[in-house]
Amino acid sequence: MPEMPEVEQVRRSLEPHIKGKKILDCQVLLPRMIVHPESGAFAQSVTGRTFKEVKRRGKYLLLCLDDESAIMCHLRMTGALLALKKGDAEPSHARVHFTLSEDTDLWFTDIRTFGVMALLGQDGWADRGLASLGPEPLSKEFTLDYLEKILKKSRAPIKNFILDQRKIAGIGNIYADESLAMAKLHPKREASSLTREEAAALYDAINRSIAQGMENGGTTFRDYKDADGKSGSNQDHLLVYNRKGEPCRFCGTALEQIKVGGRGSVFCPRCQK
């Protein structure tokens, strides 16, 4: 489940494999995953281009090309970008295949096919999700002052609030639950009801949980892998996510799972108010 730390790990691991290499061929195996332009035009446009760098914004990856265009990629739940050597077996669930120079193959794989790719920067087309992202954790734009201001304006449950990419970019279900556990806030608390102290605790918790995820190379439960096919280790350090029924690391109470906005949410009924 790639969230900001996982996508950042993909960015870091992918860049050295493709930087400076040329796209010799592009085969789209599942056309509907290319959201813009039409898949044939996409393949034709990227062929012959050279990768300059790999950027990330929230959970979006931008594979920047030498003509100032960029391949936008969102991995959604089960997507992966894998850099393999020529001759290696085709990975399972391959959806897009880029043949690169220097005997490198770049594969976009995705079990559930929710992931998307698009070509930006050639015709003014913009991805609405990417265009509407809020500031991301650990950035200078994400300040306590900003968080307090938008918290006051929302009557949504705090869990839904921090999952809203237009408010804060990059948080998904894992880091949402972890942040709330760290800040000792119940996932159903109304956003506008947080005190100054609680908002400050949440601000620190979001930054700390995301930073910890990045230090550990991301969280792997099932499908997430970086460009080298490696798993992260942050799953060994989680407070609540995927720990339903297990003891709270602070007080020992059995963790509970409820639905908040349709998402599974694990929390400590004693610590989180």
- Crossing angle for the helix pair 196-215 and 144-152, nearest 10 degrees? 120
Tell me the number of residues near DNA by CB under 7 A: 40
In this structure, which amino acid lies at residue 13?
S
How far is the C-alpha of 1 from the C-alpha of 23, rounded, in Å?
28
* 90 catalytic per annotation: no
Task: Choose, by CB under 7 A, the member of 94, 111, 200, 201 that binds DNA.
Answer: 111
- Other CB atoms within a 10 A radius of the CB of residue 169 amount to 23
**In this structure, is the dihedral angle defined by the CA atoms of residues 38, 39, 44 and 50, taken in order, positive or negative?**
positive
Q: If binding is defined by CB under 7 A, does position 1 make contact with DNA?
A: yes
48-67 positions binding DNA, by CB under 7 A: 58-60
How far is the C-alpha of 222 from the C-alpha of 23, rounded, in Å?
30
* 3 catalytic per annotation: yes
Contacting range for DNA; rule: CB under 7 A; set: 38-46, 99-107, 122-130, 229-237: 122-130
Contacting range for DNA; rule: CB under 7 A; set: 14-22, 206-214, 228-236, 254-262: 254-262
Q: Which is nearer to DNA, 30 or 144 (CB)?
A: 30
Looking at 249, 263, 269, 270, which residue is catalytic?
Answer: 263
Q: E-strand spans in 79-215?
A: 79-85, 94-100, 104-110, 116-120
* 59 catalytic per annotation: yes
Q: If binding is defined by CB under 7 A, does position 93 make contact with DNA?
A: yes
Phi-psi region of 20 (alpha: psi -120 to 50; beta: other; left: phi over 0): left
Residue 7: φ, ψ to 5°: -65, -35
Q: If binding is defined by CB under 7 A, does position 74 make contact with DNA?
A: yes
Task: Choose, by CB under 7 A, the member of 156, 212, 233, 235 that binds DNA.
Answer: 156
- Minimum Å gap between C-beta 265 and DNA is 8
Rg, the chain, Cα only = 20
Residues lying near DNA in the complex (CB under 7 A):
1-3, 32, 58-60, 74, 76-78, 93, 111-114, 127-129, 153-157, 160-161, 163-165, 172-174, 191, 222, 241, 257, 261-264
